[in-house]
Chains A and B, each alone.
Chain A
Amino acid sequence: MLRATIRSLIAHKLRLVLTAISVVVGVSFVAGTFVLTDTVKGTFGDLFSQINAGVDLHVRSTTEFGDANGGEPLSASVRDTLAQVPGVVSAEGIVIGFPAQVLDKTGDAVSNGGAPTLGWSTYDDAELSPFFYKVGRAPVGDAEVALDASTASSHDFVVGDLVKIVTPEGPAVYTITGLLGFGAVDNLGGATVAAFDTPVAQRLFDREGRFDAVEIRVDDAANMLAVQAAVQQALETIEPGSFEAVTGEQNAEDQADDLNSIVDAINRFLLMFGYVALFVSTYNIVNTFSIIVTQRTRELALLRALGASGRQVVSSVLVEALVVGVIASLAGLALGLGIAALIKEVLASGGLEAPPGALKLLPRTVIVALVSGIVTTVVAAVAPALRAARVAPIAAIRDAQPPTTGGSLRRTAVGAGLAVVGLVMLIGVMTDHGPSNEIIGAGGGAGALFIGVSLVATLIARPCAQIIGIGIARFRGVPGRLARENSMRTPRRTSSTASALMIGLTLVTLVLVLAASVTTTVARVVDESFGSDLTISNEQFVPFSPALHDTLADLPEVGQIGRFRFGQARFGGPDGEDVGIDGIDGVAIDTLYRMGIENFDAAAFDAGGLLVSEREADKRGLRVGDRLQLTFAATGTKELAVIAVYTARNFSSTYVVSSAEFEANFPQSQFRADNLLMVKASPGVAVASMRDAVTAIVERDYPNVTVKNQSELKAERKEQIEQFLFIFFAMLAFSILIASIGVTNTLALSVFERTRELGLLRAIGMTRRQMRSMVRWEAVIIAVFGGLLGLALGVFLGFVMAGIFDSLGFALDIVVPLSLVWVVVVAFVLGLIAAALPARRAARLDILNAIATE
């Protein structure tokens, strides 16, 4: 039996190669994602280990949740106390502040794709220092700075140059005294680092008399654990439970954790597309094996007649699938490594420097890649294998024509059932009522939905192909008519080929609908939210120096100005639900920023009163006068009084406090920077002249933000959403590519199967051009069917998701954009491209051989 399997493999090598390619693409996507994210994580891990290498103990305030280093600053006296602990060689207070926006020599903001712009204090003890001076010396006094060597070299700064840096205190010009290296690299994972003399850093980042942490070097001869215990003891006497002393290694892990959680999120995002691609390739596998089994009916029947058992037939097909799966998975793994290496180079050239030759291939990656590839292939081949086992021995003698199977009632019913179950699972996951495991819930739900729709699609394949083919049959002559008939003759094949394409195009459609809806919603919210003339923000919503607010407030042209900051807290205790909380200047409420509050009590608000959105109030049964508990990461659980329920549907989702209250609860410097400023001209001053004054300052000192009126803000948001769309499309392109290979595969197999018929057509006068045209239009009908399925399902899911968002508190104005036409156009073009190869083959068919095939 094994020999028969191997011979079959060789005989069908072309179609198996096509099938394998789809698995290779899917596996390489999955493997490449793991390798890349592991490598990036490894790079960060190495980096933080290196910079913490000399730190024996890292002392910081405790936090309630989230970033372990996001606690309140420590008083300088803590350092003084710890320096006295026996075994402590040196104890340094450090400041790591944000933002320290460097402007390059042309006045542009230096930025590596939104990576942080950090300001760091210098160290007296070089062994504790995360950086060393590759060139020059440490900065001393108010007017000096040291820059990371990577930023310096990419922007032509050398020691002795002047550089403008914008800190929370505002812009200032510094002399570069040194260039910083971090272990083996010149750059801290893409972030820019500016080091200031410690007292300067304290002043710039609002840490006078305080530090973000204290770092300690322990005497080599002393017992580390004992010293750590003594340090912790000392901390407890200062204020019990408020501080913790962790090892340098622990701190390296904590620092990496923060970035790792971002990398993990990227990993999950990318993997999703990898699994979609693999899922799509199962369609190709099912199709190919089904057709191979059909074509091998005679051979299989002969084997059965010679005494092979049904089980032997099944295993012969499955072994064939296994071989394909193993080879394709190994190839996919290799390709994935290659892709990861390539992307790493791209990232390195984009500022993320990694130690050379450190591509991380973990055993987990190998296992996941091989298992997903092999399991996908073998599982997909099970149904065709079982069908093969049902071939009766008598079929060896009969001239067995492949049966034309349509959508049976049972198939449709099962499909509809699966689709509903899948949809319910998806809704459950998104509304937190579904399976606890999101991956299984979302993946299983989407899988069930797609398979279900594919099964139902068999029922409608014939009428749909007929309708889609109307124009083709009408205007493309006999080849067009035959193409339409051919697309209708095996509905199961047509629908499963089209369904593979449907998956990618459903997601494209869904993303297009959501993007259009979000764009429209954002535009509406912008219109409804802002009563200001201008808004100022970073294009990527990276927070910017609060000094800009104060500078603009001093302009005579500016009448009113308000700041806006976003943060997150937890409802109730530290384990409560995450809720959004905004900090807004009281002066802006219902003037610059519409909240819809009657009789707004500005005094109560400034005194720490809480504003609650109408929806949140309804959800939690809150009323004006209620006191509720919110927990902040740094400052712990606070009790706040609800002073008003706001009705406007603006950018604030749940809670709003005054800027002062916000600052009191978010001591971390990234939360003390502003996300948005709203500006209104002074009475009698034209908006245009106010804008000129504001723009002059922004262009001179704050090039990382943009000034815009409402319609410009809307345009900027729209552009951002479109950029995001582009990423989605690039990722989905893989799945769509695989589905196109599936179309090619199906047509190649159909051409092979219809050899006699094609020979006849050629004999009675069909030209090669007509032959090509016939195959091409069949492909187009199948592909457009897939496109329309995707369009319908995608729009439907768009409405479902809008409904879910609405129930979650984000009212989405659902929009079905005209750009969806492109989905069908893309399907049409893909059909044309996918048909090229099989059409050529059909045209080149040897007529004599074809008609002689008895």
Chain B
Amino acid sequence: MAETDTPVRTIAARAVDARKTYGKDDTAVHALDGVTVDFEAGRFTAIMGPSGSGKSTLMHCLAGLDTLTGGQVFIDDIDLTTLKEKDLTLLRRERVGFVFQSYNLVPTLTAIENITLPKALAGTKPDQAWLDTVIDTVGLRNRLSHKPSELSGGQQQRVAVARTMASRPTIIFADEPTGNLDSKSSTEILEFMRRAVREFGQTIVMVTHDPNAASYADRVIFLADGRVSGEMSDPTPERILDKLKGLGG
């Protein structure tokens, strides 16, 4: 499944002149001020920027959790701004995966139930072979019947990643997935995400403020004041830090 050098990449998600404004007139705050960006399929993209740069808002809008006040966002060439609430829910269920900073799992369900939850909500059966692959990849085989409260923070995030991968979404959005983890667990999670992209061609977009975490990505997009202020391929922590310093973050 090595597809690192495919010449023409399809676009998994993109934003076209995306605008999000809170308030009116004088008091208006432009969280997104005309963002146009493509996220290629099979790549691991990090979004970075100082607090209030609009990185979370962009991700929420791309994922159909929040609505734009102007412009468009697409997933698989579907214009999210034209969808109704119900279709947005179905789109999230079928084409989008989420990993949040914390509280990723339903506490009443076991690890395996959490992993298969999106499929179950859709009323479809998971692909068992793929499920096994995912479970082995995240190394949770012997923890499947545990409830979240019986798992460590790192294990919980691994279950969350496994859940997003299990339904083979078009795109996975990860919002500070390592924000609450120690460095060892962080490294594990980031390694998994990179493997998912490299080995299985998964598309991942991660919002983070940690240059080390961002360095696992293939590409980093920098946001400032609601605009794209730069991007970087094959990043290293040092280069990212330099760039951030330049942005004043």
Contacts and interface: CB of A to CB of B under 8 A. Distances in A.
Interface of A: 477-478, 481-482, 485-486, 488-489, 756-757, 760-768, 770, 847-848, 851
A763 B59 CA distance: 13
A54 to B, nearest CB: 79
B120 A477 contact: yes
A848 B66 contact: yes
A515 to B, nearest CB: 42
Contacts of B66: 848
A767 B98 contact: no
Nearest to B104: A760
Contacts of A851: 65, 100, 103
Contacts of A477: 120-121, 123
Contacts of A757: 103, 106-107
B117 interface: yes
A763 B118 CA distance: 10
Contacts of B117: 478, 761, 764
Given A482-B108, A762-B89, A763-B63, 10 more contacts: A489-B107, A489-B108, A760-B104, A761-B106, A763-B98, A764-B98, A765-B90, A767-B89, A847-B65, A848-B66
Q: What 8 A-B pairs are tightest by C-beta distance, nearest first?
A: A765-B93, A485-B108, A478-B120, A767-B89, A765-B92, A756-B103, A765-B118, A478-B121
B129 interface: no
Interface of B: 60, 63, 65-66, 85-86, 89-90, 92-94, 97-98, 100, 103-109, 113, 117-118, 120-123, 163
Best-buried of B86, B93, B104, B121 by chain A (most CB within 10 Å): B121
Contact of B103 (A478, A482, A760): A760
Contacts of B105: 760
A257 B117 CA distance: 71
A764 B92 CA distance: 6
B162 to A, nearest CB: 13
Nearest to B92: A765
A761 to B, nearest CB: 7
Contacts, number: 68
Given A847-B65, A848-B65, A763 B92 contact: yes
Contacts of B98: 763-764
B65 A768 contact: no
A764 B109 contact: no
A480 to B, nearest CB: 11
A481 B107 CA distance: 13
Contacts of A485: 108-109
Contacts of B89: 762, 765-768
Nearest to B91: A765
16 contacts: A478-B117, A478-B120, A478-B121, A485-B109, A489-B107, A760-B103, A760-B104, A761-B117, A762-B89, A763-B98, A764-B121, A765-B89, A765-B93, A765-B122, A767-B89, A847-B65
Contacts of A486: 108
Given A482-B106, A757-B107, A764 B65 contact: no
A638 B89 CA distance: 88
Nearest to B60: A848
B109 to A, nearest CB: 7
Contacts of A762: 89
Given A768-B85, A768-B89, A848-B66, A760 B122 contact: no
B69 to A, nearest CB: 14
Contacts of B107: 489, 757
B92 A768 contact: no
Contacts of A847: 65
Given A482-B106, A482-B108, A847-B65, A764 B163 contact: yes
Most chain A beta-carbon neighbours within 10 Å: one of B66, B108, B109: B108
Given A765-B94, A848-B66, A760 B100 contact: yes
Contacts of A756: 103
A768 B123 contact: no
A422 B85 CA distance: 54
Contacts of B94: 765
Contacts of B85: 768
B115 to A, nearest CB: 11
A771 to B, nearest CB: 10
Which among B65, B109, B122 has the highest number of chain A CB atoms within 10 Å? B65
Contacts of B92: 763-765
Nearest to A766: B121
B19 to A, nearest CB: 17
A766 B164 CA distance: 14
A847 B104 CA distance: 14
A756 B148 CA distance: 15
B132 to A, nearest CB: 21
